[in-house]
Structure 1
Amino acid sequence: MYAVVTLQDSDEVMVAPSHWLSSDKKQSYWPPFRSSEKCMEAVQKRLKPETGGKPWEKLNISFHKEYDSFGKAKEGQKEITEQKERSFLLATGFPGMLKRQRPESTQDMSKNPLPTPSTSTSRLSADDKDDLLQMLRDIKSKVQENSSMLKKLLKVNTASEAPSSSSLSTEDVKTSLNLPLRTFEDVARTENELRNATTRQKYVKYLSRIGGLGPKDVIKNIMQQVLTDNLAMEFNWQGRGDKKPFSKLILTDVIRDAASKHSVMKKDCETEIKTYLWYTIDRIGRKRPRVCEGVTSELTPPTLLDSAFQSEIGMFFLDD
């Protein structure tokens, strides 16, 4: 059995296997695939609503009707979609188009007469009306897309901000991880901790809660939580000059894993980390009052940090 439902978040009319629906038919499991082809395949094959043993997310739905085959359900989906479009056009003040789009019988018209089209609308040619109808559909689609995106953003923000009774608050977790790191001793200690898989996952989970709009924003927000600017100034990606190589840290892999939760690709992640480290001095200069021309006099002396850092982590920083 297949059901035709409307996903409330996006207002899309979709077909779903009946066993995906909750008993009250107010929710439905929905595949997490980005590809529409994979989603369609999951529906047609009536797959079990889980991936790797983990159940899919449940979405709020409006139930319409059940059908005994996928083909009939697709026909029902098309019919319900057209009904929703006609309702939308009526609500937007273009009922005259509906006569041409789906003519009704004389008897039905007498029972439920459509409003008389305005003079300006009736003067439009058939091609103009088709163009206008498509424009309205595009507008409706864009409104639905934006509405869905906004709801997801609000859902993510609410989930990240809401305190959990079974776990530490975000600020408590940050404190327990001793972030941001301020010295090379902090980095050495953290590198040792990250060799433990459970601790590493704890860091990934915390940093993945830090979002942003696009790769640049995500990496900037994560890096600000991980390193102070004074410490970030002592690193660059490859460790050229008198800098330490950030690319060789286990912490860098942790940042990649956290950023990947926000669909930041590995290449983009590395590019944004390089950029962040490169502009550290500029950030420090903007934050501090310009009492003198340079800012290095107020920074932690690198020579004192170097010896402790190298003794704790080892000599792999000297390979470059």
Structure 2
Amino acid sequence: MYAIVTFQDSDEVMVVASNWLSLDKKQCYWPPFKSSEKCTEAVQNRIKPETGGKPWEKLNITFHRENVTFEKAKEGQKEIKDQKERSYLLATGFPGLLKRQRLESPQGSTSRMSAEDKVEILQMLTDIKSTAQENSTMLKKLLGGNTVSEAPSSTCLPSKGIKVNLQLPLRTFEDVARIERELNTATTRKKYVKYLSGLGGFMAKDVNKNIMQQVLTDDLAKEFNWQGRGDKKAFSHLILTDVIRDAAVKRSVNRVDCETEIKKYLSYTADRLSRKRPREQGGPGFEIPNVISTSMMDNQPEKYTFEDMFDLTF
């Protein structure tokens, strides 16, 4: 049996093995694997929730229902995600758009929206976020006087003092070794999570880009890939990677999406450097060549669709 649950910390709808649930179905074991493929395989095989005899971490959940097969559970997962998406649209003032969708498509899928509808949604989301920031600033001023600065934008950075104390970005392997030692203590780890989660960003791509830019210079990033293939170092093996995931979760980016964006960021490092260095060395009027690098993930240019931008995590 397979269960469909929502993890309360990340509000992420997932399929899990039924034998991972607690008796009251309020908690669920979740594997500590860094690979999303390995997690999916563990669910499908309904393996015992432990590694080396040590039980996995238990997470608080909201239980939805169970299915006999994994395929049926995945279908149910999609239905629940779609329901949450429609609820969000209704709650944020998009009922007219939903009505048009139902008339045009029985399933009301966002993939069948017109270009005008997509632009409308993006604009409304931007307006909602801006209003929320303004309200937050006003509330802080009312509670604490007029000492609070204006609300930061989604990509603004915390104070320089915090950044200096944490000694970022990392520039050498010695810096990486140092931060790995520091992150063995819970207090330091929480400090880094708090700082990185405050870097802003609205979509998964922006959140992870803001974090990775502050964590690594491009010259150091090019020495890493996710699995450590070839002559590269394995970024997935670092404690720092877990800290980045924790920070992204605080920005409502689920672990799978965070991992995907880290892989993309590392794979496009060569492209970033090829664009940046001619600008730095060529002087005024220097024309940047059209350089396309081949990455270990794929050979496609970095391009996001509207669906990537609209992938709200519930």
Which band: TM-score by shorter chain? 0.3 to 0.5
TM-score (norm 2): 0.43
TM-score (norm 1): 0.42
Instruction: From the two aligned structures, give the one with the greater helix fraction.
Output: 1
Higher relative contact order, chain-length normalized (CA < 8 Å, sep 6+): 2
